[in-house]
Amino acid sequence: MSFFGQITEALTLCSQPPVRPVRTAADPPMEPKEALGLLKDGNRRFVDGRPLANRTNAVVRKELVELGQAPHTAIIGCADSRAPLETIFDTMPGDIFVLRNAGNTCTHAEGSMIGSLEFCTGKLGSRLVLVLGHTKCGAVYGATKTFLDAQGVPNKKAGSALQGLLQDLGAVAQQAQQEIGPDADADAIAAHAVRVNVFHTINFLLQFSESIREGVSSGQIQIHGGIYHLETGSVEFLGESPQQSELLLSSLPVPPSMVGSSEADRGTHGVRTGADVAIKSEQALKLLMEGNQRFAAGAPTAVTTSKDMRRALVKCGQAPHSAIVGCADSRVPVDTVFDSMPGDLFVLRNAGNTCTHAEGSIVGSLEFCTGKLGTQLVLVLGHTQCGAVAGATQTYLSGATSKAPGSALEGLLQGLAGVAQKASEDLGPKAEEAAVVAHAVKVNVFNSVNFLLKFSEPLRELVRKGDLDIQGGIYHLETGKVEFLGRSPQHAELLSSKRSVPPSITTGAVRTSKSGPVLPSDALAMLRDGNERFAVGAPVAGKVYQSMREALATVGQAPHTAVVGCADSRVPLETVFDALPGDLFVLRNAGNTCTHAEGSLLGSLEFCTGALNTRLIFVLGHTNCGAIKGATSAFLQSKTKQSGAATDSWAGEGIRARGKSV
């Protein structure tokens, strides 16, 4: 450095005030009264424009590192950039322990705020806590506006974290309005709400921290409030809360958010039992979400059950808040994934979390859970890398659905092949197998949800009444997190279903003349469902027993559909529609036509619809029909030549008949 540079630096150093000493852990704790005096003095210097705490050097920084901190005051302030706490109080590093958020509130951050203050007052020895609001606070003004705008309007769910914060601060605005009167304008209410909010936060600290209450009760800690006035730069010190004496009697050890489902929602016996009231579906879903968040974060709270808890479960019975249809995969332990206690979840599991091949068991179990036990939420939970769905996808892509299953496993995979087919169609022919499998997991979840709604009137009725919700989710093995999918896209449509039991249960009986008539729409749906089962290789029309044959013989028939089909041996109609004897009234001839047989066909259909009360007629052709091919060939070879052969005459009339109908 040059001679002139050295002279300049020396003169600069001489003109600056000396560096103030800093507080470290080597200093003794400071009395609350003395700490409060330092804050007042610092703010006075700030207002007068003569701050002292504007310089540090390597020495003081080293002391703070090596000796540690011992702040004389902990301050909860607003995050507003116009209210920099260290500047307002002209403090040095090490003087104040600062916590800041929008609105200097514990709302939505109570665990963080209280835990931080317990650390500061306990471990660091701070004996003064100051909650500092400020004029023109955007959070408080926004909360006041939200509260005033919402008066007389039904509660609206928060659409963002900010909206949630403003709504939860509404209690502050409401109290401010009550205190200054109903005729006050919005600005006056908001200005007073700043003061109310300061004491609201102080009261929260006293109410939900046992260690802070003990410190205040013993005189070791004081909690004061204040308001920083942006207009003047001065801090108005408000003193202690008027409710301090009352709040010191509180017995709550921790904030509500830290209790969560680990205690508050576990029932009167520490676990949920039949002695507890039913939990609404919205709250049950929240419990699942919170439990999964704890599991994914590696911070589960589910405790070991005690002897008394187990006795209560036996004596009082169960009242699970949710029913889960999950996969049997060992990597997806449902109770663990949701950090639940015994009594919380009614769990049904099988390979692929599906109703295929187990619909009676699954649906019946859920009807028991929702009807008898009062559970109001059903969640169908799939998971990534599902072996059953992957196997079904491979089965579909390889074309193995056309052969008879050689084992129960093959039957299961074939039954799930329809899921893989839809996933493949959704993604298009160029999709890779891994992508199809991943999408099929989601398709399969909604497939099971749809099955429950489609085939259970008790479940549908509870959903219609608002006493049940059925939703889907996917557990991600890679992260431990559950992706909640919500309701099925077909939810509203399926609530109009008329089916009362799953298909496999209905096959235990045959239709007779004692059976009621079936609406055409329902009969058509039965045909579609039966054909879908046939197409994926999962028919449910089982053996016909002697009692069934006797019923058909002695009671009579009542087919739900009359089918006019082709006599082609490759199209066995009862098999194609997975129907039992008594279901279908079948008329067949070559070409499924009325030509040369109109009297017989029409008379038969009139008998079926009149005497047997069948309400649906279904005319079924088929691809590669030999009769149609022959007729087409004969027509093309000779359009005008009249043949004496019976076959030629029949074919020509068939073609002309079709030409006229077109």
Reported as a pLDDT band with limits 50, 70 and 90, residue 239 is very high
290: domain CATH number is 3.40.1050.10
Percent composition of the chain: helix, strand, coil (DSSP 3-state, to 5): 50, 10, 40
| Distance in angstroms (rounded) separating the CA atoms of residues 652 and 646 | 10
| Domain end point (choices 354, 380, 406) | 380
Rounded distance between C-alpha atoms, residue 489 and residue 463, angstroms: 15
The neighbour count for residue 303, using CB atoms within 10 Å, is 13
Query: Do residue 103 and residue 243 come from a single domain?
Result: yes
Q: How confident is the model at residue 659 (pLDDT cuts 50, 70, 90)?
A: very low
Stretch among 277-281, 346-350, 604-608 having the lowest mean pLDDT: 604-608
Residue 612's pLDDT is 87
Enclosing H/E stretch for 312? helix 307-316
Specify the pLDDT at position 656: 45
Beta carbons within 10 angstroms of residue 93's beta carbon: 16
Q: What is the structure's pLDDT at 156?
A: 66
Domain end among 365, 380, 395: 380
Is residue 210 in a domain?
Answer: yes
Secondary structure element (H or E) that encloses residue 406, with its range: none
Q: Kindly state whether residues 374 and 513 are assigned to the same domain.
A: no
pLDDT band at 571 (very low <50, low <70, confident <90, very high): confident
DSSP secondary structure letters along 149-218? HHTTS-----SSHHHHHHHHTHHHHHHHHHHH-TT--HHHHHHHHHHHHHHHHHHHHHHH-HHHHHHHHH
Q: Is the pLDDT of residue 264 over 50?
A: no
Q: Containing domain of residue 592, as a range? A: 505-620
- Is there a domain that residue 84 lies in? yes
Q: Let me know if residue 225 belongs to a domain.
A: yes
Residue bearing tokens 């089982």: 542
Q: Which of 380, 411, 431 is the last residue of a domain?
A: 380
At residue 500 the predicted structure's pLDDT band, cuts being 50, 70 and 90, is: low
Whether 507 has a pLDDT exceeding 60, the answer reads no
Which residue, 548, 461, 471, is CA-closest to 509?
Answer: 548
Q: Encoding tokens for residue 50?
A: 């003569």
The verdict on residue 272 lying in a domain is: yes
- Band (pLDDT 50/70/90 cuts) for residue 550 is confident
In this structure, the number of other CB atoms found within 10 A of the CB of residue 161 comes to: 9
pLDDT at site 109: 57
Neighbours of 109 (CB within 10 A): 17
**What is the dihedral sign for C-alpha 18, 23, 24, 28?**
positive
- For 434-471, the pLDDT digits (tens) are 999 999 999 999 999 998 998 889 999 999 999 999 99
pLDDT for position 105: 87
Give the C-alpha separation, 73 to 543, whole Å.
Answer: 83
Would you say residue 649 lies in a domain?
Answer: no
Radius of gyration (C-alpha) of the chain in whole angstroms = 38
What Å distances lie between residue 216 and 59, 195, 245, 264, CA to CA?
Answer: 36, 21, 10, 27
Cα–Cα distance measured from residue 588 to residue 573, given in angstroms and rounded to the nearest whole number: 9
- Let me know if residue 250 belongs to a domain: yes
Check residues 8 and 114 and name the one with the higher pLDDT.
114
Residue in 557, 558, 577 with CA at minimum distance from that of residue 620: 577
pLDDT reading at 282 higher than 90: yes
What local confidence, expressed as pLDDT, does residue 4 receive? 54
Opening angle at CA 311, ends 306 and 314, nearest 5: 130
Predicted model pTM: 0.51
If one counts the domains in the chain, the total is: 2
In a domain, 464, yes or no: no
Residue 285 has pLDDT above 70, yes or no: yes
Give the model's pLDDT for residue 218: 96
Q: How confident is the model at residue 5 (pLDDT cuts 50, 70, 90)?
A: low
- Give domain status of residue 97, yes or no: yes
Question: What value, to the nearest 5°, has the Cα angle with vertex 629 and ends 628 and 634?
Answer: 100
pLDDT tens-digit readout, 153-200: 655 666 677 777 777 788 899 899 999 988 899 999 999 999 999 999
